Amino acid sequence: MPVKMPVRCSGVQTFTLLDFPGSIACIAFLPGCNFRCGYCHNPEFVLPERLKETEQSWIDEKSFLAFLDQRRGKLDGVVISGGEPTLHAGLSDFIREIRARGFKVKLDSNGSRPEVIGPLLEEGLLEYVAMDVKTSLERYSELVGPCVRAEAIRESIALIREKAPDYEFRTTLVRECHDTETMKKIAELVNGSKRYRLQTYRPSVTLDPAFNQYRPFTSQEMRNLGEIVKPYVQKVFIDEVLLNT
């Protein structure tokens, strides 16, 4: 029999009404990421040197599951986020343990590992998937670093669109990184999707300090960019607000 690989959570948010649509949930953050997005607002879950600083405070799988046992009837679901959760060998077993306790599971992913996402969907382990589509495929490496395969991003989008019970794609828009042409190419990439969310960039704590000087779009500019995507997908959101009204 294969050896079970327990995961460890680098952080837990015990309650959220926003991160799992239609569900009261908690968030389990899993450490480590293969991308280096300059605007990332969770560098403590990404950078190896920052992870090493906090490792002593991580929560082991047994303790997290015990927490869930105490939340039965109070929470509907668990969001598994990161970092990038699909890097963890024990992810599928972790999800099975969560579901065995009666909780739904939402996965947040950067879509870089369709070889992990596919089997999770095939087994029916996920109720919801949120995948970040960082930019157009041509510009991916300049935003996330060299550890990206364009074909993997495309494959993950197709898998999620075809097999996830519910899902969304989402992009954090940065004035210096996303222009009209880029948005057109993203729209083509997610064409036919159920739900696409444009997220306003909020410079504060960022993985690359230079991004603190980068600027968000105005509300009207966000709406204008949303209009570019609108013909391609069923629903477009600007942060939490539905644009298709």
Helix (H) / strand (E) element for 96: namely helix 91-100
Domain extent for 188: 8-242
Question: Alpha-carbon distance 230 to 244, whole Å?
Answer: 7
Looking at residue 190, what is its pLDDT?
97
Q: SS3 for 39?
A: coil
Helix (H) / strand (E) element for 59: namely strand 59-60
**159 domain-assigned:** yes
Tokens of 236: 């477009």
CATH number at residue 195: 3.20.20.70
Looking at residue 204, what is its pLDDT?
81
Question: Alpha-carbon distance 80 to 27, whole Å?
Answer: 6
**3 domain-assigned:** no
**211 domain-assigned:** yes
Looking at residue 46, what is its pLDDT?
86
Question: Alpha-carbon distance 163 to 165, whole Å?
Answer: 6
Give the mean pLDDT per block of 10 residues along the chain (245 residues): 76 96 96 91 85 92 97 97 95 97 98 98 98 96 91 97 98 95 97 96 86 92 95 95 79
Question: Alpha-carbon distance 206 to 153, whole Å?
Answer: 23
**94 domain-assigned:** yes
Q: Please state, in angstroms and as integers, the Cα–Cα distance from residue 204 to each residue in 40, 80, 116, 141, 212, following that order.
A: 10, 23, 32, 23, 6
Measuring CA to CA, which residue among 47, 27, 25, 19 is closest to residue 207? 47
Which residues does residue 77 pair with via DSSP β-bridges, in sequence order?
Answer: 25, 104
Q: Please state, in angstroms and as integers, the Cα–Cα distance from residue 53 to each residue in 6, 31, 48, 56, following that order.
A: 21, 12, 9, 8
Largest CA-CA distance found in the chain, in angstroms, rounded: 56
**112 domain-assigned:** yes
Instruction: Report phi then psi at 155, rounded to 5.
Output: -65, -40
Which residues does residue 168 pair with via DSSP β-bridges, in sequence order?
Answer: 130
What does pTM read for this prediction? 0.95
Beta strands in 117-231 (DSSP E): 128-132, 167-173, 195-200
Domains held by the chain: number: 1
**1 domain-assigned:** no
Tokens of 207: 């993985």
* Distance from the Cα of residue 45 to its chain's centroid: 13
* Distance from the Cα of residue 48 to its chain's centroid: 19
**2 domain-assigned:** no
Tokens of 222: 């966000």
Helix (H) / strand (E) element for 241: namely strand 241-242
CA dihedral over 57, 65, 72, 124, signed as positive or negative: positive
